[in-house]
Each structure stands twice: as C-alpha cells, then as structure tokens.
Amino acid sequence: MPPKFKKQIAIPVTISLSLAGVFAQQVLVEEWLSGDCNGRPFITANVYGGADGTSCVNVEQFPATNIRVSLVKPCNKGKIPVIKVSSVECAQFETEIVLSADGSCNSVDFTPWAYEISCN
C-alpha cells in the first residue's frame, strides 16, 4: 500500500500539571442591569486569586444595578476573600465598593469594569 494510504495511529498523551496552591481562591461575580439579583444575570465572571492570592479581571462595561459575589473556592489558612470593584480597568484600578463573597445582593450606582480579589 502506498505510504499516503497507510492508516496512522495517534497515541494520546496526557500531561498532568498540579495547580494546587496556584489558584488559592475563586469567586463568581454576577451582574444585573435591572431589578434585583433574581433571574438570570446579564454578566458573569469567575475571578481566581493568583499565586500570591491577589488578581484582577476586567469585564464588559454595562450599567449594572446589582452585583452578587459567591464563594466558589475559599482562601487558604482561614483567610477570607475580599472583592473590590472598580469603574476603571485593572491597570488604573480605583476601588468604588468592597464586597464579601457571601452571595448577598449589592446595589450599585456605577458601571463596574474590573474586579480585584485578595485574601485577608
């Protein structure tokens, strides 16, 4: 059989990397454009803490009326995640409000653009 017609067999290779400790915590951020925190949110974002426990993520700019932050993975060593919200991007981050990852509905009167998480 000519070489171009020979059946090729692919052997799958799995590379496993341990990420334990790299992402110390995770929260889910949800935004609503109107009403309260019931129903389907308009924007959702997962915010992961970096190796040092702090990170920032930009989201699309929409005039949210309510924000809910829920804990997905807790901080290490009994610390709690603190979520700061900014109306400007991560590079120029300015805290507008500080939220807890307790699943409560928080009313806002600005357009969220960035979320920063840290463990305190």
- The answer to whether 81 and 112 are in contact (CB under 8 A) is no
Dihedral of alpha carbons 27, 46, 89, 109, sign = negative
1 within domain boundaries: no
104 within domain boundaries: yes
If one counts the domains in the chain, the total is 1
pLDDT for residue 16 = 27
- The answer to whether 73 and 46 are in contact (CB under 8 A) is no
Mention every residue, 6+ apart, whose C-beta is less than 8 A from residue 36.
Answer: 66, 105
Confidence of residue 13 (pLDDT cuts 50, 70, 90): very low
Range of the domain at 103: 21-119
What's the pTM value of the predicted model, to 2 decimals?
Answer: 0.76
Residue 18 pLDDT > 80, yes or no?
A: no
Query: Cα separation of 61 and 69, whole Å?
Result: 17
10 within domain boundaries: no
Neighbours of 82 (CB within 10 A): 18
**pLDDT tens digits, 89-108:** 999 999 999 999 999 999 99
83 within domain boundaries: yes
81 within domain boundaries: yes
31 within domain boundaries: yes
Mention every residue, 6+ apart, whose C-beta is less than 8 A from residue 39.
Answer: 32
- Share of the chain residues as helix, strand and coil, in percent rounded to the nearest 5: 5, 40, 55
- Residue 84, phi then psi, degrees to nearest 5: -105, 145
3 within domain boundaries: no
41 within domain boundaries: yes
